[in-house]
């Protein structure tokens, strides 16, 4: 690992909200007097009734319960829109940049207010109200923001499903939370390619009983089938509603949204976030981590289908009265200069993207970057997976011209907001390290026996205390919440990540230590891909592991045992890739499939994944002990026919 250190530039230390001394003082207060600290910082949002009870949580086995600001009353949409109207009604809230570079749109806070109120009234007219679940399956268009904020305004719980997921994946998520309405578009548009969203919804709804309404936004104008009773057009419904829509009064612990994420076992789980703590934490981290000042133009390249889009395109920035850019397209369309051209076009100051995008653009060389100006840029950010020092250095040197600090932000869908990160005016940078904890965050590194390690060490990353943005439960399954996050280490939240702490107390996330893989910053459960593969009629067994991939970070490596009599052909390999793509979505496509006559199992029948990981990593000489296998000979065949041989 690189030990290069980048000191805080002097002008950053003086202009930023927080310098090193202030970080240390605020951090100290946040952990010695969390109640006082969070009581003070809760004031950053407007409350209808201010909270008097600040923190009330327990990580105790069998009794996990998390509440923040519990007697407070507020509305998230009011905080993201209405409270800004007096001061910045005419300021741009959302800059939308289309997939096609000739399309963009600016939406002021006042326009956002009117659009969200209309949207909310359309929902209210269809009897959607407080506590109802609304599934949103939209591309990156302004209506996705209107839809989410409209739900927040009327107290409905949104569940955004990434528009790259298949009809089956969508159906599972609609059914799990019993949505009564689905909001979609005729088609999506990404990288010049069309995605048949309405047709996907139609296919999904064949498996969903409870959906009364489908609202369809016109994006491309493609002809789509409309059910006379169930389906209606957004643009038509919007003509007959007003721009007045009183906000619902929400308790701090009323749910704001559900977001499905993959785990090491079973189906994706509905991560539930509530209103008060989430909003305080998303807005506070957005301000401090990105050092957001009035007038800055801020761009996070994520999709609203992921938590990064929720916290750092929408809720955090808008709660702060920011100008936030929403991008429909992809980094390499029409050319590899697209990101940098968008930065120049809209004079972006703060840019937040993922290592996988940085690596892909790095491969295209410096030229597409250097032909753009980027002089508006002041700060760069990274999120989604560990960033390798080479990519970090390139991002810093070529994209940021050695003048922009990089904030490498570690967090998870479950954490609601950033937990480990540099603050640009306070923290020296080490390429590849997420550096230090944010205020109120107490990381601990534990060995497998549960001992808390001190000083420089490597182990499993836990959090010893709650923070306001923490998820509250798995929707409809609190036992699974406790089991997943609080059973490995008693009294602590286990993140699923491995981590090293260095002599400076800096944290280096080493990646997942469970059966979750991180493909281009997207989380995939190996179990999900396996169950998709074994559902194919020619497959008898499957085991899936991750392996290092130059651009994606991790690729998906599948070992497949066929039914007796089936031939392992190239055609079948392609068929299986297409099968998983269709079943789950393109992000789950296996990169490599190895046909395996047998899988390495213990005598009790447990697949030894450790061995499969080593073979997939092309490290057959470090398989370790194979003597406990029922049939050690299967390993020789797997090694010989490995797909990732260098």
Nearer to ligand WT7, 51 or 498 (CB): 498
334 known ligand binder: no
**Contact yes or no for 389/433 (Cβ under 8 A):** no
Q: Does 549 bind ligand WT7 (CB under 6 A)?
A: no
Give, in order, the Cα–Cα distances in Å from 98 to each of 189, 554, 590. 9, 29, 30
Q: Which residue from 81, 214, 43, 241 is spatially nearest to 136, judged by alpha carbons?
A: 214
Beta strands across the sheet bearing 493-501: 452-453, 443-446, 457-463, 493-501, 507-512
Q: Which two tokens stand for residue 566?
A: 């089936």
Q: Does 501 bind ligand WT7 (CB under 6 A)?
A: no
Pick from 148, 211, 256, 434 the residue near ligand WT7 by CB under 6 A. 434
Q: Per-residue b/e over 543-554, b at no fewer than 16 CB within 10 Å?
A: bbbbbebebbbb
Nearer to ligand WT7, 127 or 487 (CB): 487
- Give the separation between CA 258 and CA 228, rounded to whole angstroms: 29
Q: Which residue from 304, 317, 323, 329 is spatially nearest to 151, judged by alpha carbons?
A: 304
Q: Which stretch binds ligand WT7 (CB under 6 A): 39-47, 51-59, 410-418, 625-633?
A: 410-418
Q: Does 392 bind ligand WT7 (CB under 6 A)?
A: no
What's the closest the beta carbon of residue 311 comes to ligand WT7, in angstroms? Answer: 8
Spell out the residues 6+ positions from residue 221 whose beta carbon is closer than 8 angstroms to its own.
Answer: 186
- Measured from each CB, the residue nearest to ligand WT7 is 413
Q: Residues for the chain: how many in total?
A: 646
- Give the separation between CA 205 and CA 202, rounded to whole angstroms: 5
The region, left, alpha or beta by phi > 0 then psi within -120 to 50, assigned to residue 479 is: alpha
308 known ligand binder: yes
Q: Does 523 bind ligand WT7 (CB under 6 A)?
A: yes
405 known ligand binder: no
Pick from 381, 386, 416, 422 the residue near ligand WT7 by CB under 6 A. 386
Spell out the residues 6+ positions from residue 410 whose beta carbon is closer than 8 angstroms to its own.
Answer: 383, 418, 419, 420, 421, 434, 497, 507, 509
**Contact yes or no for 160/257 (Cβ under 8 A):** yes
Q: Which two tokens stand for residue 121?
A: 């009234």
* Per-residue mark of binding to ligand WT7, 217-256 (x: CB under 6 A): ----------------------------------------
- Give the separation between CA 171 and CA 204, rounded to whole angstroms: 5
* Per-residue mark of binding to ligand WT7, 22-61 (x: CB under 6 A): ----------------------------------------
Q: Does 313 bind ligand WT7 (CB under 6 A)?
A: no
- Residue ranges in 356-385 that form contacts with ligand WT7 under rule CB under 6 A: 383-385
What's the closest the beta carbon of residue 510 comes to ligand WT7, in angstroms? Answer: 8
135 known ligand binder: no
Q: Which stretch binds ligand WT7 (CB under 6 A): 208-216, 408-416, 528-536, 579-587?
A: 408-416
Q: If you write DSSP's letter for every residue of 235-271 in order, what string do you get?
A: HHHGGG--S--PPPPEETTSEEEEEEE--SSSS-EEE
56 known ligand binder: no
* Per-residue mark of binding to ligand WT7, 441-480 (x: CB under 6 A): ----------------------------------------
Q: Does 496 bind ligand WT7 (CB under 6 A)?
A: yes
Q: How many CA atoms lie within 13 A of 384 on its CB side?
A: 28
Nearer to ligand WT7, 500 or 538 (CB): 500
Taking the CA atoms of the chain, what radius of gyration do you get in angstroms? 24
Q: Does 528 bind ligand WT7 (CB under 6 A)?
A: no
55 known ligand binder: no
Q: Does 413 bind ligand WT7 (CB under 6 A)?
A: yes
Q: What number of helices (H) and strands (E) belong to the chain?
A: 22, 31
Count of CB atoms situated within 10 Å of the CB of 442: 17
Pick from 12, 59, 165, 411 the residue near ligand WT7 by CB under 6 A. 411
Q: Which residues pair with 251 in a beta bridge?
A: 73
Question: Residue 394's Cα: distance from chain center in Å?
Answer: 24
**Contact yes or no for 107/151 (Cβ under 8 A):** no
Q: Which residue from 290, 518, 287, 526 is spatially nearest to 388, judged by alpha carbons?
A: 518
* Per-residue mark of binding to ligand WT7, 260-289 (x: CB under 6 A): -x----------------------------
Q: Does 520 bind ligand WT7 (CB under 6 A)?
A: no
Reduce the secondary structure of 565-591 to three states and give it as a string. CCCCCHHHHHHHHHHHHHHCCHHHCCC
Nearer to ligand WT7, 30 or 285 (CB): 285
Nearer to ligand WT7, 79 or 409 (CB): 409
409 known ligand binder: yes
Q: Does 509 bind ligand WT7 (CB under 6 A)?
A: yes
What's the closest the beta carbon of residue 166 comes to ligand WT7, in angstroms? Answer: 18
Q: Does 187 bind ligand WT7 (CB under 6 A)?
A: no
Q: Does 554 bind ligand WT7 (CB under 6 A)?
A: no
What's the closest the beta carbon of residue 280 comes to ligand WT7, in angstroms? Answer: 18
Q: Which stretch binds ligand WT7 (CB under 6 A): 42-50, 100-108, 157-165, 489-497?
A: 489-497
Q: Per-residue b/e over 258-290, b at no fewer than 16 CB within 10 Å?
A: bbbbbbbbebbbbbbbbbbbbbbbbbbbbbbbb
Pick from 182, 307, 357, 419 the residue near ligand WT7 by CB under 6 A. 307
534 known ligand binder: yes
**Contact yes or no for 225/184 (Cβ under 8 A):** no
Q: Does 308 bind ligand WT7 (CB under 6 A)?
A: yes
Q: Does 304 bind ligand WT7 (CB under 6 A)?
A: no
455 known ligand binder: no
Q: Which stretch binds ligand WT7 (CB under 6 A): 144-152, 176-184, 402-410, 535-543?
A: 402-410
Nearer to ligand WT7, 472 or 573 (CB): 472
Q: Which stretch binds ligand WT7 (CB under 6 A): 167-175, 202-210, 506-514, 528-536?
A: 506-514
3-state secondary structure of 444: strand
Q: Which residues pair with 55 in a beta bridge?
A: 68
Q: Which stretch binds ligand WT7 (CB under 6 A): 125-133, 282-290, 403-411, 544-552?
A: 403-411
What's the closest the beta carbon of residue 308 comes to ligand WT7, in angstroms? Answer: 5
**Contact yes or no for 156/182 (Cβ under 8 A):** no
- The residues of the shown chain that bind ligand WT7, judged by CB under 6 A, are 261, 307-308, 383-386, 408-413, 434, 495-497, 509, 511-512, 518, 521, 523
Q: Which residues are annotated as a binding site?
A: 190-193, 308, 332, 384-386, 408-413, 497, 512, 520, 523, 534, 536, 539, 581
Q: Which residues are annotated as a binding site for Mg(2+)?
A: 534, 536, 539
């Amino acid at each position: 690992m690189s030990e290069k250190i980048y000191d805080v530039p002097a002008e950053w230390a003086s202009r930023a909200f927080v310098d090193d001394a202030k970080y240390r003082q605020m951090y100290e207060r946040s952990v010695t007097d969390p109640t006082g600290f969070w009581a003070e910082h809760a004031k950053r949002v407007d409350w209808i009734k201010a909270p008097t009870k600040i923190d009330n949580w327990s990580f105790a086995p069998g009794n996990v319960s998390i509440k923040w600001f519990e007697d407070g009353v507020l509305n998230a949409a009011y905080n993201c829109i209405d409270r800004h109207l007096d001061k910045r009604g005419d300021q741009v809230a959302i800059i939308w940049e289309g997939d096609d570079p000739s399309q963009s749109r600016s939406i002021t806070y006042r326009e956002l207010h009117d659009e969200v109120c209309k949207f909310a009234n359309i929902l209210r007219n269809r009897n959607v109200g407080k506590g109802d679940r609304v599934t949103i399956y939209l591309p990156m268009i302004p209506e996705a923001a209107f839809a989410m904020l409209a739900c927040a305004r009327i107290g409905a719980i949104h569940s955004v499903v990434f528009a790259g997921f298949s009809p089956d994946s969508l159906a599972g998520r609609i059914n799990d939370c019993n949505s009564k309405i689905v909001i979609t578009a005729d088609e999506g548009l990404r990288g010049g390619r069309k995605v048949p969203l309405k047709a996907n919804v139609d296919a999904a709804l064949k498996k969903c009983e409870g959906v009364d309404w489908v609202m369809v936004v016109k994006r491309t104008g493609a002809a789509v089938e409309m059910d006379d009773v169930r389906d209606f057009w957004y643009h038509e419904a919007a003509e007959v509603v007003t721009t007045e829509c009183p906000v619902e009064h929400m308790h701090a612990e009323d749910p704001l949204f559900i977001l499905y994420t993959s785990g090491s076992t079973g189906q994706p789980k509905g991560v539930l976030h509530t209103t008060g703590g989430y909003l305080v934490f998303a807005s506070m981290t957005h301000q401090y981590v990105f050092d957001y000042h009035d007038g800055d133009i801020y761009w996070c390249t994520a999709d609203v289908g992921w938590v990064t889009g929720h916290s750092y395109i929408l809720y955090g920035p808008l709660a702060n009265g920011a100008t936030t850019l929403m991008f429909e397209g992809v980094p390499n369309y029409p050319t590899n200069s697209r990101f940098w051209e968008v930065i120049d076009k809209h004079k972006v100051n703060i840019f937040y993207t993922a290592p996988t995008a940085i690596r892909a653009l790095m491969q295209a060389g410096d030229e597409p970057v250097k032909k753009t100006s980027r002089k508006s840029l002041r700060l760069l950010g990274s999120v989604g997976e560990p960033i390798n020092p080479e990519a970090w250095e390139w991002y810093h040197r070529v994209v940021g011209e050695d003048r922009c600090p990089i904030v490498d932000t570690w967090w998870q869908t479950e954490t609601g907001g950033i937990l480990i990160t540099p603050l640009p005016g306070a923290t020296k940078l080490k390429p590849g390290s997420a550096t230090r904890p944010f205020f109120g965050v107490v990381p601990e590194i534990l060995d497998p026996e549960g001992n808390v390690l001190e000083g420089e060490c490597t182990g499993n990353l836990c959090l010893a205390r709650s923070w306001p943005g923490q998820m509250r439960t798995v929707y409809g399954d609190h036992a699974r919440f406790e089991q997943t996050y609080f059973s490995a280490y008693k009294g602590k939240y286990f993140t699923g990540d491995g981590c090293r702490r260095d002599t400076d107390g800096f944290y280096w996330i080493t990646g997942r230590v469970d059966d979750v893989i991180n493909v281009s910053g997207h989380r995939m459960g190996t179990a999900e891909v396996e169950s998709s593969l074994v559902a194919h009629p020619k497959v008898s067994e499957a085991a899936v592991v991750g392996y290092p991939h130059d651009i994606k970070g991790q690729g998906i490596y599948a070992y497949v045992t066929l039914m007796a009599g089936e031939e392992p052909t190239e055609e079948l390999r392609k068929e299986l890739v297409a099968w998983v793509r269709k079943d789950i979505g393109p992000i789950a496509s296996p990169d490599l499939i190895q046909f395996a006559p047998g899988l390495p199992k213990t005598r009790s029948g447990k697949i030894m994944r450790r061995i499969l990981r080593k073979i997939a990593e092309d490290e057959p000489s470090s398989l370790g002990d194979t003597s406990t296998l029922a049939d050690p000979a299967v390993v020789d065949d797997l090694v010989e026919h490995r797909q990732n041989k260098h």
